[in-house]
Amino acid sequence: MNPARIRILAIGKVRKGWVQEGIALYRRRLPGLEIAELKDSTMAKEAEAIGAALRPEERLVVLSEEGCTLDSLAFAEQLRGSGSDRIAFVIGGADGLEPALKAQAAWRLSLSPMTFPHELARLLLLEQLYRANTILQGGPYHRPGA
Per-domain boundaries in the chain: 3-136
- If pLDDT is split at 50, 70 and 90, which confidence band does 142 have? low
- Between CA 139 and CA 72 the distance in angstroms is 14
Superfamily of domain 3-136: SPOUT methyltransferase, trefoil knot domain (3.40.1280.10)
57 phi and psi angles, rounded to 5 deg: -85, 0
Residue 38's H or E segment, with its range, is: strand 34-38
Give the tens place of pLDDT for each residue, 59-107.
Answer: 999 999 889 999 999 999 999 987 668 999 999 988 889 999 999 999 9
